[in-house]
Structure 1
Amino acid sequence: MHALPTQPGIRVNLAELIEMRHRVREVQLFSTPARRSPLIGLHHSKLRGRGVDFDQVRVYQAGDDVRTIDWRVTARTQEPHTKLFHEERERPTYILVEQSPRLFFGSGLMFKSVLAAQAASLIGWAALEHNDRIGGLVFGNHAQHEIKPRRSKQSLLQLLNRLALANQALSRDAQSLADSFTLALRRAREVLRPGSLVIVLCDERTLDDSSEQQLQLLARHTDLLLLPLSDPLDHALPAAGLLRFAERGAQLELDTHNPELRQAYRAQGQARADRWQRLAQKLGVPLLPLSTQAELIEQLRDQLNAQRPRKQP
């Protein structure tokens, strides 16, 4: 693909997303033999369907489950033997990442669309290093670009290429489709096998009744990690006087010196954040909200440290 001229914080290209692989070690997203991450529960949680692999056969010991006795080896050796299993380590990791006009905005360090692309890339490289199969779906207004999960760098590069293309195609003149998130979640439910890990990167404002229902259905058979994206201006208006907005012929004026208006606006932003929090608690899944006002690695490190269980004295 041909990269557009560099526009830091506004657009990304494939080379920048590939470079994110060098930052994987800066934040512990998945577990290592020497260190457990707060997200290890996503890889060793409740098993849904086929989630264990055969390991070895050994001599039966008191306390072993009689259902795991290997009768062929027992008959051949004339001594009871049992099968040992270990939990399946490799699993599909499916990254659902939004690139729609509603993300083509930012008042902080970057646009929300750039933040989503960076986070998807970082998680993808971390999952590949963790030996997971990587795939995903880039969704926006008029198309869904899907890459089936495979344990290969090529699969991740295909996803990142689609992500960069979608990011560079964004414009402020396009209109966001209300149901694009719901359609993407529905597609994920159709293609993913039980036990998959689904990473959801979307605008905080996309959550509605329909998409919330799809997330609840998806959570029945997969593990979810929710990363809603926001900008400081999504939550609070500055006291900047009279502001005029225009879009496709429609105009709107807001007097931001009006304290009641600013309070109502803050309440709406807080209500959106609270809805994500209630959903995450209901589904029992991690919630890592991201904002354009801070650097990605810094945010993830702070979020994961907050979720890491504290040692008891």
Structure 2
Amino acid sequence: MDILPSQPGVRSNLAELIEMRHHVREVQLFSTPSRRSPLIGLHHSKLRGRGVDFDQVRVYQAGDDVRTIDWRVTARTQEPHTKLFHEERERPIFIMVEQSQRLFFGSGLMFKSVLAAQVAALIGWAALDHNDRVGGLVFGDAEQHEIKPRRSKQSLLQLLNRLVRANQALHTELQANREAFGQALRRAREVLRPGSLVIVVCDERALTESSEQQLSLLARHTDLVLFPLSDPLDHALPAAGLLNFVEHGAQLELDTHDSDLRQTYRSLADTRQAAWVRLAQKLGVPLLPLSTQSALVDQLRDHLNTFHPRKPQ
């Protein structure tokens, strides 16, 4: 049975993603002078490659780094001059967001595919509000669509439009592509400039040995923030008796009254979650897992309070 595109929580639409801009003030994703967010604790941290811009030339002073001497100006003026640089004030923010068949599911407030779209939209509006360049890559089982980072509302709307189109095209009969995440990461490595901030929004089950390697390579030249998405049923099976699953003609029957089966299922979920934690720790990047069980803004607030606990009154 087809699901109507307007059904809340099942399909995303452009109006809903545009509406996410009104939630930007509810959660401080990017830093302010008095508060630094984990997203943008990265934002003005490491100076890499083109992450610094040439500012001006002035007369050399004691203590200046000799490696910054401008030899052409020095030769022309017969007096030592040095180049001054300043940290680039804006960085490309590249939002990688999954819209695949495995995300087209949910037992909580919404489908995982809708949650992914909301995350991408909220971060996109927050980045634009912070005067940063925004672009991204929408990827699914069969297609990838890249939007180059630009500091314009049109660029973000282009990304959101592409996201909605991918979301609307999801259905249960899609052929899953287990390599889609790794392929998207390889594409990101090809197009991203060093020092970019990369937001990764994907299914919790997307992490494989291959994609973990690609994330590690991407982290060498960019800053990452990881948003693995899950549903309560990804982590625990209800004791609901016999459950039948059908996919592409194949059928599977599970007796969920079997406590050993439920424990094995739970252990597999614990293993997936632990793999994300290990990866984030190894790469030294923020990990913000999200669930369809709760509202997005509430979950982000909880994560930010974990990074920045409130001072006792």
TM-score of the pair, normalised by structure 1: 0.91
Task: Name the counterpart of 1:142.
Answer: 142
Task: Name the counterpart of 2:247.
Answer: 247
Task: Name the counterpart of 1:100.
Answer: 100
- Structure 2 gaps of 5+ residues are none
Task: Name the counterpart of 2:274.
Answer: 274
Q: Does the aligned pair in 2 maintain the 1:203–1:228 contact within 8 Å? A: yes
Task: Tell me how far 1:58 sits from its aligned partner.
Answer: 6.2
| Matched letter for residue 117 of structure 2 | A
- Bigger mean CA deviation after superposition, 110-119 or 194-203: 194-203
Task: Tell me how far 1:38 sits from its aligned partner.
Answer: 2.6
The alignment covers a number of residue pairs equal to 309
Between the aligned partners of 1:25 and 1:62, the Cα distance in structure 2 is 46
Task: Name the counterpart of 1:115.
Answer: 115
| 1:202-255 CA-partner distances (Å, limit 9, x unpaired) | 100111111111111111111111100000000001111111212222211111
Task: Name the counterpart of 2:287.
Answer: 287
Instruction: Report matched runs for 1:133-212 at 5 Å.
Output: 133-212=133-212
| 1:82-134 CA-partner distances (Å, limit 9, x unpaired) | 55432112111111111011101000000000000000000111111122211
Between the aligned partners of 2:205 and 2:301, the Cα distance in structure 1 is 24
Between the aligned partners of 1:258 and 1:209, the Cα distance in structure 2 is 31
- Bigger mean CA deviation after superposition, 38-47 or 236-245: 38-47
- Structure 1 gaps of 5+ residues are none
Between the aligned partners of 1:178 and 1:67, the Cα distance in structure 2 is 48
Between the aligned partners of 2:201 and 2:194, the Cα distance in structure 1 is 20
Between the aligned partners of 2:308 and 2:84, the Cα distance in structure 1 is 30
- Bigger mean CA deviation after superposition, 27-36 or 92-101: 27-36
Between the aligned partners of 1:83 and 1:58, the Cα distance in structure 2 is 7
Change (3 A) 1:73 1:292: same
Between the aligned partners of 1:187 and 1:219, the Cα distance in structure 2 is 14
Task: Name the counterpart of 1:28.
Answer: 28
Task: Tell me how far 1:307 sits from its aligned partner.
Answer: 1.5
Q: Does the aligned pair in 2 maintain the 1:38–1:309 contact within 8 Å? A: no
TM-score of the pair, normalised by structure 2: 0.91
Task: Name the counterpart of 2:307.
Answer: 307
Task: Tell me how far 1:22 sits from its aligned partner.
Answer: 1.2
Between the aligned partners of 1:139 and 1:69, the Cα distance in structure 2 is 46
SS in 1 for 2:217: helix
Between the aligned partners of 2:235 and 2:152, the Cα distance in structure 1 is 40
Between the aligned partners of 1:173 and 1:234, the Cα distance in structure 2 is 20
Change (3 A) 1:239 1:156: same
Identical-residue share of aligned pairs (%):
80
SS in 1 for 2:199: strand
Between the aligned partners of 2:47 and 2:57, the Cα distance in structure 1 is 22
Give yes or no for the alignment of 1:53 onto 2:43.
no
- Bigger mean CA deviation after superposition, 41-50 or 118-127: 41-50
Task: Name the counterpart of 1:219.
Answer: 219
Change (3 A) 1:216 1:71: closer
SS in 1 for 2:49: coil
| 1:38-71 CA-partner distances (Å, limit 9, x unpaired) | 3223212222212112345667665443444567
| Matched letter for residue 94 of structure 1 | F
Between the aligned partners of 1:183 and 1:77, the Cα distance in structure 2 is 53
